């Protein structure tokens, strides 16, 4: 039985609050996961301020753990049956967001060097700004692993109706489909408050 995601918590205010916190945490971890190539680049580049074994270990943790959390979130959504019907009103491509993603990945090469603590601190502040912007502007779906596994990312705008299953807000759909057409109905699992991954048949 497919359970709309909003019904999981509608009759339990505390559970609803915890579920909202879970989705917020999932969105933040998805941001960190999307930046995993950046941490790999940092680990390769290294710096003269922190010993390699510590610096590489920290970068590896930021590259690997959030990605594991992302796939755990996908697995949890499937096991919990957090399937939701999306009514497609119109579709927009998200390929232009790749430019912002590539800009973020260039962050390790922003300073001329990382030999001083001021340069290192400036880079960390820049990283914090990128993470905040990705989180605030809902760009957490930009993930290299989705491309590796041949997923496409599109923005789906539901039709202007009172359909409780789709709502009226823009939804980012992660799907193996090459194209999504207006008028289609698609079942998808909820990963965050704005991101869904299509529930495909086995």
pLDDT-above-70 percentage for the chain: 78
Residue 89 has pLDDT above 60, yes or no: yes
Work out the pLDDT band at 10, boundaries 50, 70, 90. Answer: very low
Q: How far apart are alpha carbons 167 and 71 in whole angstroms?
A: 26
Mean of the per-residue pLDDT values for the chain? 77
Three-class SS state of 2: coil
pLDDT at 141: 81
The residue assigned the tokens 């096991």 is 79
- Torsion-angle region of 183 (φ positive above 0: left; ψ -120 to 50: alpha; else: beta): left
Dihedral (CA of 164, 168, 173, 179) sign = positive
The domain spans of the chain are 5-198
Predicted pLDDT of residue 64: 93
> Which are the contacts of 7, defined by CB distance < 8 A and separation ≥ 6?
none
**Regarding predicted confidence, which is higher, 15 or 108?**
108
pLDDT of residue 2: 40
State pLDDT tens for residues 143-167.
888 888 888 888 888 887 655 554 5
140 versus 67: the higher-pLDDT residue is: 67
**172-175 LR contacts (CB < 8 Å, sep 24+):** 172/94, 172/138, 172/141, 172/196, 173/86, 173/197, 173/198, 174/141, 174/146, 174/198, 175/151
157 forms beta bridges with 90
pLDDT in tens, 50-75: 888 888 999 999 999 999 988 888 88
Question: Which pLDDT value is given to residue 79?
Answer: 87
Most confident residue range from 9-13, 94-98, 191-195: 191-195
How long is the chain? 202
For the segment 112-134, what is each residue's pLDDT rounded down to a tens digit?
A: 555 677 777 878 888 888 888 88
- H helix runs in the chain, sequence order: 13-34, 36-45, 52-79, 97-105, 117-136, 144-148
pLDDT of residue 105: 73
Question: Using alpha carbons only, what angle is made at residue 66 by residues 192 and 115, rounded to the nearest 5 degrees?
Answer: 130
Residue-wise pLDDT tens digits, 20-42: 556 677 888 888 888 888 888 88
Which pLDDT does position 108 carry in this prediction?
Answer: 61
The residues near 176 (Cβ < 8 Å, ≥ 6 apart) are 150, 151, 152, 198, 200
């Amino acid at each position: 039985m497919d359970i709309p995601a909003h019904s999981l918590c509608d009759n339990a205010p505390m559970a609803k609050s915890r579920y909202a916190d879970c989705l917020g945490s999932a969105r933040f971890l998805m941001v960190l996961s999307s930046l995993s190539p950046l941490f790999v680049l940092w680990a390769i580049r290294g710096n003269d301020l922190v010993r390699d074994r510590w610096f590489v270990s920290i970068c590896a943790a930021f590259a690997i753990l959030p990605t594991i959390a992302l796939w755990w979130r996908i697995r949890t959504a499937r096991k919990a049956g957090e399937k939701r019907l999306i009514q497609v009103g119109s579709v927009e491509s998200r390929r232009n967001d790749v430019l912002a993603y590539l800009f973020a990945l260039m962050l390790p090469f922003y300073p001329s060097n990382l030999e001083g603590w001021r340069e290192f601190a400036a880079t960390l502040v820049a990283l914090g700004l990128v993470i905040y912007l990705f989180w605030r502007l809902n760009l957490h779906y930009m993930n290299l692993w989705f491309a590796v596994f041949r997923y496409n990312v599109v923005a789906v705008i539901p039709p202007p109706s009172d359909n409780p299953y789709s709502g009226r807000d823009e939804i980012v759909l992660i799907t193996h489909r090459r194209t999504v057409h207006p008028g289609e109905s698609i079942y998808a699992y909820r990963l965050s408050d704005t991101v869904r991954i299509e529930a495909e048949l086995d």
